[in-house]
Amino acid sequence: MDHNIIDIVQSQVIAAVKNKKDLDAAIQSNANIVFVLTGNITTTKHYIDRLKQAGKQTFVHFDFIDGLANSKGAIQYIAEVWKPVGIITTKSNLIKYAKEEGLMTIQRLFLIDRNALNKGVDIAHHCRPDAIEALPGLMPTIIDEMTRMTKLPIIAGGLIGSKQDILNGLEAGALAVSSGDPKLWNLDL
């Protein structure tokens, strides 16, 4: 890919679509990036196609798509047939495969304690995703600390329930904030 994630962020609110019923809200939203966290091997391409027709930059959360094996072949299939902008995953080997296929990558980290933070940043430095999605995103102090630990862009996500949560994440240094709440997808940020 000849562009990076910073270049494609227009709205700093990312629509995280967790179920099919929210797809239309994402299509009509101000969010220009959509994370697809629902679907299976027969429905996901349709979701991506609809989002792309609406001008959305789409990332598929690999770990949440039913019917995919954790394999290089599955990543090749996504890249060649579904053609999203990129994938999100917790699995560093899939980050490597996706990069080989020209997909952008977001490494999702669950920050349950200091050890998870340190280990997660180390893993990200090793596999070099385009960004890190830090969950839960309600920890501005930790987001700020992460921005000093890595030059990789940080996306705050998980448990984001208000405009203030989004503003706190952005103030702490996050590039963008992902939310599964359609009411937050049209904030003008």
Q: How confident is the model at residue 2 (pLDDT cuts 50, 70, 90)?
A: low
Q: What is the pLDDT of residue 139?
A: 95
Between CA 59 and CA 143 the distance in angstroms is 22
Every domain of the chain and the residues it spans? 5-184
Between CA 25 and CA 167 the distance in angstroms is 21
| 67-117 residue pLDDT tens | 999 999 999 999 999 999 999 999 999 999 999 999 999 999 999 999 999
Burial class of residue 188, CB neighbours in 10 A (0-12, 13-18, 19+): exposed
Class in CATH terms, 5-184: alpha beta
Number of H helices, E strands in the chain: 8, 8
- Look up the pTM and report it: 0.97
| 153-176 residue pLDDT tens | 999 999 999 999 999 999 999 999
3-state class (DSSP) for residue 35: strand
| 104-117 residue pLDDT tens | 999 999 999 999 99
